[in-house]
Structure 1
Amino acid sequence: MTGAIDVVVIGGGQAGLAAGYHLRRNKLDFVVLDAQSAPGGAWQHTWDSLHLFSPAAYSSLPGRIMPVQPGQEYPDAGHVVRYLTDYEHRYDLPLHRPVRVHTVVRDGDRLRVDTDAGHWSARAVVSATGTWWRPFVPAVPGQGIFAGRQLHTTGYRRPSEFTGQRVVVVGGGNSAAQITADLAGHDGIDLTWATQRPPRFLADDIDGRALFDAATARRRALDEGRTDTGGVASLGDIVAVPPVRAARDAGLLKARPMFESLTAHGVRWSDGTTARADTVIWCTGFRPALSHLAALGLRGTHGHIATDGTRALGEPRLHLLGYGDWTGPASATLIGVGRPARDAVRQITDLLA
């Protein structure tokens, strides 16, 4: 694979597809390079019981409303994969997979995208690789001596894998709460949930629609120089989706403070108390997957690249899409990525003109 083209989009998940939709509408010559072997982005790798925070109509990419999943108020991950598969075919997006991008480098007035299948010479690049591929696990004393199993959110699939085990779930966000609720309802699992601070559940009537509005209002306030509204963080950390709500109301979601260290056979708190464990599940978040951009020398604090909207300040031919609020309000969500994708493609169109 090799050639000269207007735009290369790196990543074939929801952000890459949203960019492709707007690039198609603007009649630009582009390709979307996806490291995965099948459509669906990270959604094809999530745990079995995962559901969206919002109804289908509020979880859609630009141009195509997500169909309702029969019998489900909040669609599951499999439904999202089917929607994304249909989306890329409906708009005839030029996906190439599996293609793994190694690096992006400056090459005169172009950017060269080197992959395991050759290289592309592009006038502009959209990086849409997300965060799922770079799980974060904090450094905790004793990790090297713990004799049990340690896995991240990305490795969790279903409760039946842990029958008969003592399991510690670490983290105070949505993934931790959902996985804890999933495990709590399964017989034969001795469960401990450890969090840095007491869990903060959002009000039961708040779902992804309200979260998108909160993120958008915060970005607008910051852009206009007004007081920071706090955005989603001001509302809480955990969306009370039905399984979480049910487990909470049944008294199954009781968190303990974060432990101080791991031992050979479990965990130890600062007061000296211990608990035995066979498995620790780290639901401790992600970092942006940006190693393919290292050669451009743009990395700043917290591993982020400084941007104006989605455009990299140090390289105007590069746009970053779908990594979180720093690249557009709620841009890591299905409903939130459409607007920054549209703005990025508008700027790219102007640049190429």
Structure 2
Amino acid sequence: MALGASGKFPVRPGVPPDVTGADHETDVAVIGAGQAGLSAAYFLRRAGLDFAVLDHGKRAGGAWQYRWPSLVLGKVHGLHDLPGMALGTPDTTRPASEVVSEYFGRFERAYDLPVRRPVDVLAVRPASGDRLLVESAAETWSVRAVLNATGTWDRPFWPRYPGQESFEGRQLHTADYTGAADFRDKRVVVVGGGTSAIQQLIEIAAVARDTTWVTRRPPVFREEPFTEDWGRAAVAKVDAAVRAGQPPASVVSVTDLARTPEVVEAERAGILDRLPMFDRITRTGVHWPDGTERPADVILWATGFRAALDHLAPLHLREPGGGIRMDGTRVVAEPRLHLLGYGPSASTIGANRAGRSAVQEIRRLLAPARSRTAARMP
């Protein structure tokens, strides 16, 4: 007989665990305390629901606390205020990791949000009655609904290419990037067509011996600044995919790239002379089908992230194509579960809106049970 992730509840095929012995009981569990999770917590507080926020970070800040130090606030695109509290006018020359972490911390304290950290949620599974069981290694929560806001930072995507294991240089993902100093006098191949790839490539080019930029598709730059209409069109494309049960597309594939003054300068300097993807990796570099080779000391995989949803596997949500069928933020196969920061709500402004709409649905979902509880009270 298998045990649950916490070691407390037996897992029998087809038999939901009895959660009467759970360590905690509440209406809603919010998993993750980034932009989406804090937005949801704000609206849960306003709705008067009992809830707990479970965050695996050691401090406030969500994924922002892990951003590389040279990413100053002035280089960040698309950061929006949390509901009910403006970011204000911070120093744009400070690292975004510091500014946003401080802001999130102020928000948590201002609204007295019940954030518990560090908590690594290992599993969410159906339980007895109308409950779901949320399990960490040490504790369990019996809940009526889950708002999952775990984002993507914990699941960096590493493509696989022939010869990758034989490369004698260094390979790292953009999630491991801490600054350009590590690349001084190195021959660097940067793989990826997103904003992070471009920002890091420009920084590295200033100190590296040589840089090569490689992408699967030719990058598409837009001359005009990012607008709400541009954002809405991108969100609509992603929403259509997740409603059909398909995996959400990458942000760059639906939004394109902004041709900022920094990008224009890099183009003029030849830093953004993009090459198509190589077909294999050699011991000392990369190789293309036409026989071209480039030597490399470092390969930086700026290849994005995937949604961190492994803890939801016991709910069996995946469609045959690998996606999760959604209706707004609600999972069609499990209406007690909402995914925030997934698909169309992956942007910071989308996360705020998603938090509000998800809590409205949760209130309707819980209303009958709360009415029955009230009727039983003397």
Q: TM-score range by the shorter chain?
A: 0.7 to 0.9
Which of 53, 58, 62 in structure 2 is aligned with 1:41? Answer: 62
Cα separation, partners in 2 of 1:208 and 1:137, compared to 1, 3 Å: farther
CA RMSD of aligned residues (A): 2.5
Q: Is the contact between residue 238 and residue 343 of structure 2 (CA under 8 Å) also seen in structure 1?
A: no
CA contact (8 A) 2:230 2:255 kept: no
- Write out aligned runs for 1:275-290 (5 A): 275-290=294-309
- d(CA) in 2 for partners of 1:188, 1:285: 23
Contact 2:220 2:257 survives alignment (8 Å): yes
1:310-349 alignment, distance < 5 Å? 310-325=329-344, 331-349=345-363
Give the AA of the match of 1:17. L
> Which position in structure 2 is the counterpart of 1:295?
314
What's the CA shift for 1:157?
Answer: 1.4
Unmatched 5+ residue regions in structure 2?
A: 1-21, 243-248, 368-378
Q: Does 1:133 align with 2:154?
A: yes
Report whether the alignment pairs 1:183 with 2:207: no
Contact 2:28/2:147, CA 8 A, preserved across alignment:
yes
**2-structure distance, mates of 1:49, 1:214:** 31
Which TM-score applies when normalising by structure 1? Answer: 0.88
Identity across the alignment (%) = 48
1:250 corresponding residue in structure 2: 269
Name the amino acid aligned to 1:310. T
1:89 to 90, 109, 117: 109
Q: CA deviation at 1:177?
A: 1.2
Q: Once the two structures are superposed, what CA deviation does each residue of 1:234-291 show, in whole Å capped at 9, x if it has no partner? A: 8752233453343234332111111111001110011111111111011111111111
Counterpart secondary structure, 1:85 = helix
- Give the equivalent residue in structure 2 for 1:328: none
Determine which structure has more spread, i.e. the larger CA radius of gyration.
Answer: 2
Distance 1:122 1:164 in 2: 54
Correspondence for 1:52 = 76
Structure 2: distance between partners of 1:29 and 1:220: 30
Specify the alignment match of 2:325 in structure 1: 306
Work out whether residues 202 and 235 of structure 1, in 8 Å CA contact, stay in contact via their aligned partners in 2. Answer: no
2: CA distance, partners of 1:346 / 1:265 = 56
1:32 counterpart residue number: 53
Query: What TM-score do the two structures reach when normalised by structure 2?
Result: 0.82
* Partners of 2:51 and 2:330 in 1: CA distance: 18
Other-structure match for 2:141:
120
1:106 aligns with 126
Residue in 2 aligned with 1:21? 42
Alpha-carbon distance in structure 2 between the residues aligned to 1:297 and 1:308:
17
Question: Are the aligned partners of 2:28 and 2:146 in contact in 1 as well (CA < 8 Å)?
Answer: yes
Instruction: Mark the CA change 1:301 to 1:47 in structure 2 (over 3 Å): closer, same or farther.
Output: farther
Whole-angstrom CA distance in 1 between matches of 2:250 and 2:280: 33
Change (3 A) 1:299 1:68: same
Give the drift of 1:302: 5.1
Does the 8 Å CA contact 1:218/1:231 hold for their aligned counterparts? no
Question: Is there any run of 5+ residues in structure 1 with no aligned partner, and where?
Answer: 224-229, 326-330
2:13 maps to: none
CA contact (8 A) 1:18 1:337 kept: yes
Change (3 A) 1:199 1:348: same
| Aligned mates of 2:30, 2:254 — CA distance in 1 | 34
Distance 1:222 1:115, change over 3 A: closer
The question of whether the paired residues in 2 share the 8 Å contact of 1:7 and 1:31 is answered with yes
Paired position in structure 1 for 2:5: none
Aligned pair count?
Answer: 336
**Counterpart of 2:123 in structure 1: which amino acid?**
T
Mapped to 1, the partners of 2:100 and 2:313 lie a distance apart of 31
Against the structure 1 CA distance between its residues 341 and 221, is the aligned structure 2 distance closer, same or farther, given a 3 Å change threshold? same
